Chains A and B, each alone.
Chain A
């Protein structure tokens, strides 16, 4: 499957099936800091991702302060 990441933008390939939590662990990403979007739809941590899925891992952290 293709996994798109941002900040910086890049695309990586992973073999499925793999659980969302396992994918995030392999990428050393904190679940609190990202959303996982499969083919335009949000998926929770226990969802299984398959070969052929297009997955976006979107950072949700904003850094500005007042």
Chain B
């Protein structure tokens, strides 16, 4: 196989683009696709301060690397979820990535800072672990963005993630969720802007990007996620994709181009009576937000971020390095 751009030997084939790429042009493709997503969906400007949600996995580290290469001002936030060895190792990957690049990583630990972990939260709330985990992540990333004065929160959701979520939402006709399943959610109702710059890239591409950029990441799957619905949806979509390359892209981007606006709700909290949580100040549908209700069930409490005597929030002592601007020339000829 030869690279579509330069005809040198290829190292990866991407069937939905009906193309193969060498190292140089594959990395350029990834950066091009992120730049295109940011531009087309008006996700970020170069004056924004961006908080990257970092898990230590391939997607979030690749996202941080690409945003840094494209010259965006970024800090990272890692949440320690208390899932044993998985969390310990993931945090190590996130910390090493930040340290090697001189980037600032804030670490919030659920157990140390809030008095519970994801397995405890799931038991107390009688939710599946992924539900308690997602609720905690959404709340804490929003909270950190408000506290730090960031313009946007960037997450590593890729094309496979979005197609799988869309598949689940369509299967169950979750109209509220369908209306909000967009690559960018503007700030509003007390929520920060949320952006997903990887929506034009599949997770196989993100893993390949990390291998080629020598980014070490947490390869093992979260033990709490084993057997969840999301994985089942991905497996089903990959079975279709294998027979019909490009199906995931067409499914997701067809939805964005032709369907999503029929469901309304372009901002978080739209259509709901959003107030302010009396305990933490976060946006809430009732008097107390869902995270504070979870916190009450597990017997946890909020840290005092404003007290100088409190050192419960860990921040790595790395500073922002000068950012660099990558060269994007659109020469890869990828799927429009």
Contact = CB atoms under 8 A, between A and B. Distances in A.
A50 B242 CA distance: 25
Interface residues of B, number: 45
A41 B20 CA distance: 15
A39 interface: no
Interface stretch (B91-99, B207-215, B290-298, B305-313): B207-215
Interface residues of A, number: 25
A17 interface: no
B1 A44 contact: yes
B203 A61 contact: yes
B171 interface: no
- B contact patch SS: helix
Nearest to B214: A40
B227 to A, nearest CB: 9
Interface string B187-230: 00000000000000011101110011000000111100110101
B155 A66 contact: yes
B259 interface: no
A45 interface: yes
A63 B226 CA distance: 7
B137 A33 contact: no
Given A61-B231, A62-B59, A62-B203, A30 B225 contact: no
A47 B212 CA distance: 17
A26 B1 CA distance: 22
A63 B11 contact: no
A63 B57 CA distance: 11
A44 B58 contact: no
A58 B219 CA distance: 8
A34 to B, nearest CB: 8
A12 interface: no
A37 interface: yes
A60 to B, nearest CB: 4
Interface stretch (B38-46, B107-115, B233-241, B326-334): B233-241
B138 interface: yes
A14 B59 CA distance: 31
Contacts of A44: 1, 10-13, 20
A19 to B, nearest CB: 11
Interface of A: 6-7, 30-35, 37, 41-47, 58-66
21 contacts: A30-B238, A32-B202, A32-B204, A34-B204, A35-B204, A35-B208, A44-B10, A44-B13, A44-B20, A46-B1, A46-B13, A58-B207, A59-B219, A59-B221, A62-B58, A62-B161, A62-B222, A63-B221, A64-B55, A65-B230, A66-B155
Interface of B: 1, 10-13, 15, 20, 55, 57-59, 130, 133-134, 137-138, 155, 157, 160-161, 164-165, 202-204, 206-208, 211-212, 219-222, 225-226, 228, 230-231, 234-235, 238-239, 241-242
